[in-house]
Amino acid sequence: MYFTLMGKLNARRKNIAEQDDKGFTLIELLVVVIIIGILAAIAIPVYLGVQNNAKNSGTQSDITNVKTAVVSLQTNNGALPTKWTAVVTSPTGFPIAQTGGATTDFPNAGATLSSSTTSLNYGPTGTSGDFCIIGISKGGGTFYATSTAGVSTTACTIS
């Protein structure tokens, strides 16, 4: 009886050893989930930073377009346009809430606003012929341009 039982146990062990494992263990699955979590923790902040940089770049482009429009209007009219403020209220740029100046002059002169810009302000600085453009981005940046300098983070003041 003993030998019969041991023979059956050995046969069972041999049969189990010959079978291929057909799945993953719980530990293997946990390791995979932890690795995916770590990758997500790294990738999500990087992705958000890229989005903010894209919004800031859109605002910088808008400021450059407004500066080009101001120079065009100054050339055509012989004087700087009056103060102008544009607040983006639609997700696609113009039409926007505008105050000051001739509200159609800036868009007609090539000023465009993207959905990444919260607001743009333009006005003279007080020095003859100089102007300042201030743009606020949905990406959190505030950018400036003057008649003598390109877009930067160096502040200028509208008088």
Of the two residues 75 and 94, the one the predictor is more confident about is 75
pTM: 0.68
Sheet holding 142-146, edge to edge: 97-99, 84-87, 117-124, 131-137, 142-146
Q: Closest by alpha carbon to 86, among 138, 131, 122?
A: 122
What integer pLDDT is reported at residue 95 of this predicted model?
46
Residue boundaries of the structural domains of the chain = 26-152
Q: Is the pLDDT of residue 30 over 90?
A: yes
For the ranges 36-40, 96-100, 117-121, 150-154, the lowest mean pLDDT is seen at 96-100
pLDDT 10s digits, 93-136: 554 555 555 556 777 777 778 888 888 888 888 777 789 999 99
- 27, 65, 108, 125 from 121: Cα distances, Å: 59, 13, 17, 12
**Distance from CA of residue 73 to its chain's centroid?**
31
